[in-house]
Amino acid sequence: MDREDKSREKREAIKEMVFEINSPGGTPFASKEIATCIENMDKPAIAWVREHAASGAYWIASACGEIVADELSTVGDIGVMSIRPDIGELMKKFGIDVETLKTGIYSHLLMLDPKL
């Protein structure tokens, strides 16, 4: 039996995959890439959450068929938050005029002025 046959035999002996997750998250690209790999596996997948599976880590866990977590585990919390100060009045006070050039319907969302 050669190395490839032994490797195939070991893979076939695996009945399901358990992913131990303990993470506050990660980048959207990496999370999607890992979740896609899990979704494309030919074995059942279980996410075992230690303390945290938040943000991108929750995305990964949700790709599994089952999520197992302790009652004290933090699971979930996908979201993005950004602070956007309104400095329009301050700009007027100092005589600062802004001309906005933009492309895309959401490209203005982080502008400091004007109000949305």
Please report which confidence band the pLDDT of residue 71 belongs to, taking 50, 70 and 90 as the band edges.
Answer: very high
pTM of the model: 0.62
- First-residue to last-residue Cα distance in the chain: 68
Catalytic residue numbers?
Answer: 55
- With CA atoms as reference, report the closest residue to 12 among 22, 21, 4, 23: 4
CA atoms within 13 A on the CB side of 106: 0
Cβ(9)–Cβ(36) below 8 Å: no
Classify domain 3-81 by CATH number: 3.90.226.10
Domain boundaries, the chain: 3-81, 82-116
Q: Which residue has the higher pLDDT, 64 or 115?
A: 64
Burial of 63 (0-12, 13-18, 19+ CB in 10 A): buried
Mean pLDDT of the chain: 86
